[in-house]
Structure 1
């Protein structure tokens, strides 16, 4: 697969704005994707927000393997991180709210000592498509910010008031300027955190099929009706899926373009079950 890199101009502008806004922030809520918790953290953002109280949210936990999520949480908590799992599409917000109260306690006590009634401010950060806007909507209890299942929808910072004394800042998803670890970059591409249009969809879907066959072969065979002798190469798996699901063109030719789009969509939507593509010990 060719070198993967995606750093459009709006990300550089967003980084500068984020740096300016940090001075007004009491705590940071960092979201990563529970299916690839290490790969979906931006080390540049972690460095930039160092020194702020932090909550690490493994979002989309309903799509990840529960045992793997537990192992990742244990790992992050071992690094003294306030980490928890969450499902922005249907999870209860009680634990998140309790963590926000705890993370902002020092700032709140500082303001109280000064006799100041000040709105506490949290910044929500993360790479594209980890669910930041959906997460904020969940905390808000309605649709206050625009969401979509693709990267790059949020292009500007926006404050959202969640109560009399709490505001959260929705920020655009930001990747590092360079993706040095291409193994992790592929995971980001599989999850939709990198724009599909800059890559070869068939190559991407074939690579995903190959990885999923290593992790959850039974689920892949069942979903795409693969025979036992489907092969191991990405192109073989893609063609076997075309045959199994009937993705064919006139003359019986394989419709690999359609197959690639549907394979990626079905994986991202959790149609293959709960799968972590970055196991803790991998």
Structure 2
């Protein structure tokens, strides 16, 4: 049944692409986005570290394509954010994958204090390694980059808060606006996260490519909130999400315990005929409402 997933993904992805074409240009790549992309490109060679933030649920699909235009740097760190929303075992597998690609990667939950402390300690260690090579700058800059809604601003806020507390610094805290909607960050802002040496992190607007040709990629980006919600294609998007859930190992375990017929929900989810009345007739499956 997993073979049905690409067809549903293609359906919703094509719907999103058609909306963009009907609006004569991708509504996610506005003139403001183009200006932001130019500003980010200008700063990439000037900062000390690039923190490429990706969604831990789609670590390949959330890759920041703008970095392709720049030479690969050993100072790029792939940050898998939103790990609280992803499978722990799969995140571990992706970390192993990036290590095999000789990439530096770190997994983090921007809303967890302990996770942010670990991330800050990790960043400070990278900075010390840089300074030990004879690097002479008194101020180190790290720039958060990525597609929309991967949690760059939330990371900036948390690093700023934890960093100021750790350094026992006084003064008013800065705060980047964080919302569930993509594209909220409009400008590049700096936040101090450590002292001795001074370390600043730059929060930047999320940028998507002007055109996305892969329909399934479009679907994944819409499902994780990287693309603004639209009226068209919502049914197909829900079907795709339901199909993902019903083909997961976790669902299969619950289905077996609850006596749900094998693949019943997968079929209804992917053929567009999902009916709540049908589920009422199934044997009751005990669930945990907190999940």
Structure 2 residue 102 is matched with structure 1 residue 94: no
TM (norm. structure 1) is: 0.74
User: Are 1:151 and 1:193, in contact at CA under 8 Å, matched by a contact in 2?
Assistant: yes
Q: What is the CA distance between 1:109 and its match in structure 2?
A: 4.3
User: Are 1:42 and 1:126, in contact at CA under 8 Å, matched by a contact in 2?
Assistant: yes
Equivalent in the alignment of 2:78: 56
Equivalent in the alignment of 1:209: 242
User: Are 1:30 and 1:54, in contact at CA under 8 Å, matched by a contact in 2?
Assistant: yes
From 233, 252, 272, give the equivalent of 1:235: 272
Alignment size in residue pairs: 241
Going from structure 1 to structure 2, the CA distance change for 1:214 and 1:241 (only over 3 Å counts) comes to: farther
Q: Secondary structure at the match of 1:236?
A: coil
Where does structure 2 lack aligned partners over 5 or more consecutive residues? Answer: 1-10, 18-27, 162-172, 281-288
- Whole-Å Cα distance in 2 between the matches of residues 194 and 36 of structure 1? 14
Equivalences for 1:1-282 in 2 at 5 Å?
A: 1=11, 2=14, 4-5=16-17, 6-48=28-70, 50-51=72-73, 53-92=75-114, 93-105=116-128, 107-109=130-132, 118-141=138-161, 144-164=175-195, 165-197=198-230, 199-215=232-248, 218=251, 228=261, 229-230=264-265, 231-233=268-270, 235-237=272-274, 239-240=275-276, 273=291
Q: What is the CA distance between 1:62 and its match in structure 2?
A: 1.0
- Whole-Å Cα distance in 2 between the matches of residues 159 and 79 of structure 1? 30
Where does structure 1 lack aligned partners over 5 or more consecutive residues? Answer: 245-270, 274-282
- Whole-Å Cα distance in 2 between the matches of residues 82 and 153 of structure 1? 28
Going from structure 1 to structure 2, the CA distance change for 1:76 and 1:47 (only over 3 Å counts) comes to: farther
User: Are 2:15 and 2:232, in contact at CA under 8 Å, matched by a contact in 1?
Assistant: no
- Whole-Å Cα distance in 1 between the matches of residues 159 and 252 of structure 2? 33
Going from structure 1 to structure 2, the CA distance change for 1:240 and 1:94 (only over 3 Å counts) comes to: same
Q: Secondary structure at the match of 1:104?
A: helix
- Whole-Å Cα distance in 1 between the matches of residues 183 and 202 of structure 2? 16
Q: What is the CA distance between 1:176 and its match in structure 2?
A: 1.7
Going from structure 1 to structure 2, the CA distance change for 1:24 and 1:241 (only over 3 Å counts) comes to: farther
Going from structure 1 to structure 2, the CA distance change for 1:272 and 1:17 (only over 3 Å counts) comes to: farther
User: Are 1:210 and 1:234, in contact at CA under 8 Å, matched by a contact in 2?
Assistant: no
User: Are 1:22 and 1:49, in contact at CA under 8 Å, matched by a contact in 2?
Assistant: no
Going from structure 1 to structure 2, the CA distance change for 1:199 and 1:154 (only over 3 Å counts) comes to: farther
Q: What is the CA distance between 1:44 and its match in structure 2?
A: 2.6
User: Are 2:143 and 2:202, in contact at CA under 8 Å, matched by a contact in 1?
Assistant: yes
Q: What is the CA distance between 1:199 and its match in structure 2?
A: 4.1
User: Are 2:144 and 2:152, in contact at CA under 8 Å, matched by a contact in 1?
Assistant: yes
